[in-house]
Amino acid sequence: MSGGTITTASIVRLLWPGLRKVFGQSYTSHPTEWTEIFDQSTSEKNYELDQQFEGFGLAPEKPEGQGIKYDSQQQGYTPRYDHIVYGKGFEVTKEAFSDQLYDVFTRRARALAFSVGQTQEVVGANILNNGFNAADIMPGGDGRALFDVVHPNGPSGGTFSNRTAATDFQETSLETMLIAIGNATDTRGLKINLRPTKTILPTSQTYEACRVFKSVLQNDTANNAVNAINDVNAIPGGYVINHFLTDPDAWFTKTDVEAGLTHFERWPVEFEEDNVFNTSSARFKATYRDSFGWTDPRGCWGNSGG
């Protein structure tokens, strides 16, 4: 049933004795997964703004007797995190609440918690799911999708990429991504020490990930060579499986950039209940307010898969 008030007519079976099980309202959820992707912050404002300021370029030679050359520092794009309220509830008549025999509305409250938890997971994962869509951009950001080969550096010009050529997840393609991360540059094109922290994979890659990350020797070859990714601890956080990624081929590596994938909690999940005075119906609801997004695209590298 979608919408409306739960009445005795809509729970007829729950008024009968002898049912063995009442099932389907909620299930065991996965441990929280979005926290493995996003850096977490709290907010006390209507929205949050981040501001890009570029660094300085290379220092030129100073000929003897001549003055030093001065550089400028300019501001760039301004990502904006608009906090959104999410909520769901249900209403049940006093008759239905008191006549049902199986304590089902206590379990409906658990189902409500399950619903909002799943909502948060889906909204968070959709930042990655939509990360290759050119129409899905960060408000106030650089005007490109999260994963793009021509992100603008900033006001001084130039571009950078945080997207590797589409290939299946495997040892060699992961190495290619790690090399790209190792060659990362800043807003003025200078080399930076950007480090991968963890790889994020869909459920379809669960067992391949285990082989790639945990093999002592090189995976899927007859070569007696070390697993270089494992041997040098190239990705300290290893890998995580996210059950809410929708593309079975796409995969991602998060980095330690100062401001990358970010979640702001404006207010946490709140559960409330009250009664409707003129009908005596009981109402239960859950709400929360937050925002997901990204500031610096260097915070995550993506591959859309083969």
* pLDDT tens-digit map of 158-169: 999 999 999 999
Tell me the C-alpha distance between 155 and 171, whole Å: 37
77 touches 287 (CB < 8 A): no
DSSP 18: T
170: nearest Cα among 229, 254, 225 = 229
Q: How far apart are CA 68 and CA 91, in angstroms?
A: 73
Residue 92 inside a domain? The answer is yes
- Quick check: is 9 in a domain? no
Instruction: Please say if the pLDDT value at position 78 is more than 90.
Output: yes
Domain-embedded: residue 214: yes
Are 14 and 104 contacting, i.e. CB atoms less than 8 angstroms apart? yes
In a 3-state reduction of DSSP, which class is residue 174? helix
Cβ–Cβ under 8 Å, residues 52 and 260: no
- pLDDT at position 107 is 62
Mean pLDDT on 139-158: 95
Q: What is the CATH number of the domain that holds 122?
A: 3.90.1690
Average pLDDT (290-305) is: 97
Mean pLDDT along residues 54-78: 87
Total number of domains constituting the chain: 1
In a domain, 12, yes or no: no
> What residues make up the domain containing 223?
32-57+78-257+265-295
Asked whether residue 201 is domain-assigned, the answer is yes
**Is 4 buried (19+), middle (13-18) or exposed (0-12) by CB count in 10 A?**
exposed
User: Could you identify the residue written with the tokens 């999410």?
Assistant: 86
pLDDT at residue 12 in the model = 44
Percent of residues, the chain, with pLDDT higher than 90: 58
pLDDT at 10: 56
Q: Can you tell me the distance from the alpha carbon of 297 to that of 161, in angstroms, rounded to the nearest whole number?
A: 9
The answer to whether residue 64 sits within a structural domain is no
Question: In terms of pLDDT, which residue wins out, 82 or 15?
Answer: 82
Q: Give the mean pLDDT of the chain.
A: 86
d(CA 95, CA 286): 23
DSSP reduced 3-state for 108: helix
In a domain, 11, yes or no: no
Structural domain includes residue 2: no
Q: What is the pLDDT of residue 222?
A: 61
Q: CA 244 → CA 22, 179, 210, distances in Å?
A: 27, 27, 19
Cβ(144)–Cβ(186) below 8 Å: no
